Amino acid sequence: MELGRAVETYLRHVALERGLSDHTVAAYRRDLTVYVEWLSHRGVTEAEEVTPALVAEFVAERASSQPPPASSSLARLQSSVRGLHRFLVLEGRVDDDPSGRLRPPKAPRRLPKALTIGQVDQLLDAAGPAPGSSDVAGVDPAAVRDRALLELLYATGARVSEIVQLDVDDTAHGDLLRVRGKGDKERVVPVGSYARAAIEAYLTRVRPALAAKGRATPRLFLGVRGAPLSRQSAWLIIQAAAERAGLTAHVSPHTLRHSFATHLLQGGADVRVVQELLGHASVATTQIYTHVTVDALRDVYAGAHPRAR
């Protein structure tokens, strides 16, 4: 089977049958485009012609390239290649899997960076006025939307891709929010009073005017022209709020997700409850946040106990 056609068939499979996100499918496409071009330069254009030696050479060459790729990027690249060849074997397009001996690189454990509760307050205040405050009159409507966006990200710990895909109807369950996560799996997440008030202010005062500027859409968050807000726009909104708040550390949508999990665990939440709220398939993914809270306890102990040092 011709490799370019094999890649397109595989990408359709992961998008339609496995339900992977557009973002993940785009990453697979980038990786496999590089892979197929590399094989083409060596005269290999058919899937049956790929050998374990070629796969190993490709991975080794990518690993030694300059600047060196991050271990996570290399692991994803290997996953893309393995996924393609496994798929072709399972579909009966080829007899053997030349990537079967690949072993993903061991990624160093990176602890997520969370904001303090005070820093979160600064960020939210910089995004826009709190609902009901005396500063609301005459404020830019976009600031009301931005405050609602950030309040919801922090209140639910949802991924930014999940938040921008919310429909208005997803908020119509009182203090609960229906979120569609990876693999189109649905979960229900509580929403606190602060985020609820911010969403109601946005829906009442701002969204109708934004919706009138564009085509009818059920999406909750809209841009200034009435189109659904994109992930990139949400990222820029957070960056702008972080700059206004004077937060020098890198702040991204995922920073609020990390902060959500860390603050819950610091407040005594069970790790399996946090797992459910974050939409993690495995509790092992959530347990990285327990290391953050243990480190915080150690720091407090070291600074407070007279015989700690």
182 is known as an active-site residue: yes
What DSSP element (H or E) covers 142? Answer: helix 141-156
- Distance (Å, rounded) from C-alpha 144 to C-alpha 136? 8
Nearest alpha-carbon partner for 81 in 114, 113, 47, 109: 47
Cα 53 from chain centroid (whole Å): 35
Catalytic residue among 82, 159, 207, 258: 159
Query: What amino acid is encoded at 123 in this protein?
Result: L
**One-letter amino acid of 233:** S
HEC readout, 237-281: HHHHHHHHHCCCCCCCHHHHHHHHHHHHHHCCCCHHHHHHHHCCC
* CA–CA dist 221, 44 (Å, integer): 47
Does residue 10 have an active-site annotation? no
Q: Which are the contacts of 18, defined by CB distance < 8 A and separation ≥ 6?
A: 183
Which of 62, 76, 219, 257 is an active site residue? 257
Active site residue 185: no
Residue position matching structure tokens 């796969």: 55
| 289 counts as catalytic | yes
Q: Is 254 a catalytic residue?
A: yes
List the catalytic residue out of 182, 187, 205, 231.
Answer: 182
Rg of the chain taking only CA atoms, in angstroms: 23
Is 280 a catalytic site residue? yes
Exactly one of 76, 196, 207, 280 is catalytic; which is it? 280
User: Tokens in use for 119?
Assistant: 């820093």
Report, as residue numbers or ranges, the catalytic residues: 159, 182, 254, 257, 280, 289
